[in-house]
């Protein structure tokens, strides 16, 4: 198994180098995008404008030689603009299917929270079922299929809060932070000349990604690590049971069983990226915040006390016993 992991993960370093030739820093975001790619899990990127979210996603898609589509979500977007529609052909009096931009390998849903409920519902079917329905016919989406969505945390005017059911479909929610001082100097040097970013050549094929996914699913997860994953998730639902009495009244509801699945799979992918054929509690802890932060809803009391879900997840990680 170790040899298989080494064989299938050979593209990781060239892929990171290819993305790094265009994007300065943001290693955490790039690693989480790779975890999504290796597991088929969708990723929600949250950060202020100008942090290279769109550039990173498009560069990654080019490096994977995948078909990439950027969809700008707006309040007047219609489901047909996303999925496609039936077009009447007068020549033979039939309807032809015109597929929408959702039929791609990597979808960038830019400012996903600006689209109305009907569009979110259409996107939800694509994310969960990997298929879309146009007219009376259902069409499978290409493999691999990955939705990478962005949202702006500081501007709420003209936005529609994402339904909890849809937020739960994102495997990871990554908070994108500002670059460091040295990174920002390098960004300025690269981009202030007015020249476009360098083009990236493909370093891995979609078929290789699918083969790597199969190996990621076989990365060993010990029974004690599995129990640790479940304990972390249960602690978000029943904090007092795990000695977290200070969280009483702060958690409206905890993470669903989908979180346990996502946490185990993300830990396997993290171990795969490290070149290991087994996942450890450290792998679980490394990805836990990104897996759980959007699955823990806080109460009005928590909001009044300025307690966010990130703080609750960190308290859970600090308290639940590590095997």
For position 22, what pLDDT does the model report? 85
2-74+103-132+139-191 and 219-319 agree in CATH topology = no
**CA 62 to CA 11: how far, in whole Å?**
14
Q: How far is CA 141 from CA 65, 77, 133, 147, 262, in A?
A: 17, 21, 10, 12, 21
Q: Identify the pLDDT of residue 154.
A: 66
CA distance 173 to 44: 5
Q: For residue range 109-164, what is the model confidence (pLDDT) as tens digits?
A: 888 888 888 888 888 888 888 888 887 888 899 888 889 988 877 665 556 677 77
Residue 228: predicted pLDDT: 94
Determine the pLDDT at residue 158.
Answer: 53
Query: Domain segments of the chain: what residues?
Result: 2-74+103-132+139-191, 219-319
What are the tens digits of pLDDT across the range 69-102? 999 988 888 888 888 888 877 778 778 888 889 9
Residue 51: pLDDT above 90? no
- Residue 238's pLDDT is 87
Of 220, 211, 168, 149, the C-alpha closest to 2 is 220
Query: Domain 219-319 belongs to what architecture?
Result: Orthogonal Bundle (1.10)
Q: What angle do CA 308, 273, 145 make, to 5 degrees?
A: 75
Task: For 185-244, write each residue's pLDDT tens digit.
Answer: 988 888 777 677 777 888 888 888 888 989 998 999 999 999 999 999 999 988 888 888
pLDDT score for 241: 85
Residue 166 CA to residue 105 CA, distance in Å, equals 19
Q: Is the CATH number 3.40.50.300 carried by domain 2-74+103-132+139-191?
A: yes
Question: What pLDDT is stored for residue 116 in this prediction?
Answer: 81
Identify the three-state secondary structure at position 218.
coil
**How many CA atoms does the CB half-sphere of 231 hold within 13 Å?**
21
Distance of CA 55 to the CA centre of its chain: 15
Least Cα distance to 146 among 104, 180, 192, 176 occurs for 104
């Amino acid at each position: 198994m170790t040899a298989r992991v080494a064989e299938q993960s050979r593209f990781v370093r060239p892929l990171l180098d290819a993305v790094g030739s265009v994007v300065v820093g943001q290693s955490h975001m790039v690693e989480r995008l790779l975890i999504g790619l290796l597991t088929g899990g969708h990723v929600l990127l949250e950060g202020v404008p100008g942090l290279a979210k769109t550039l990173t996603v498009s560069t990654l898609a080019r490096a994977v030689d995948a078909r990439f589509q950027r969809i700008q979500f707006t309040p007047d977007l219609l489901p047909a603009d996303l999925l496609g529609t039936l077009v009447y052909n007068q020549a033979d009096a039939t309807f032809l299917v015109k597929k929408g931009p959702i039929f791609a390998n990597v979808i960038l849903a830019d400012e996903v929270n600006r689209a109305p409920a009907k569009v979110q519902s259409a996107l939800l079917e694509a994310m969960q079922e990997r298929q879309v329905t146009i007219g009376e016919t259902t069409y499978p989406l290409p493999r691999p299929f990955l939705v990478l969505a962005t949202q702006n945390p500081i501007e709420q005017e003209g936005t529609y809060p994402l339904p909890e059911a849809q937020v739960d479909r994102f495997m990871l929610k990554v908070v994108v932070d500002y670059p460091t001082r040295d990174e920002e100097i390098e960004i300025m040097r690269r981009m202030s000349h007015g020249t476009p970013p360098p083009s990236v050549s493909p370093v891995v094929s979609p078929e290789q990604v699918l083969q790597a996914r199969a190996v990621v699913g076989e990365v060993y997860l010990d029974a004690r690590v599995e129990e640790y994953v479940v304990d972390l998730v249960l602690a978000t639902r029943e904090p007092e049971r795990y000695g977290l009495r200070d969280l009483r009244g702060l958690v409206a509801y905890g993470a669903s069983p989908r979180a346990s699945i996502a946490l185990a799979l993300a830990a396997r992918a993290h171990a795969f990226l490290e070149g290991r054929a087994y996942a450890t509690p450290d792998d679980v802890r490394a990805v836990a915040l990104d897996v759980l932060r959007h699955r823990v809803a806080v109460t009005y009391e928590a909001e009044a006390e300025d307690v966010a879900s990130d703080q609750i997840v960190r308290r859970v990680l600090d308290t639940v016993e590590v095997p």
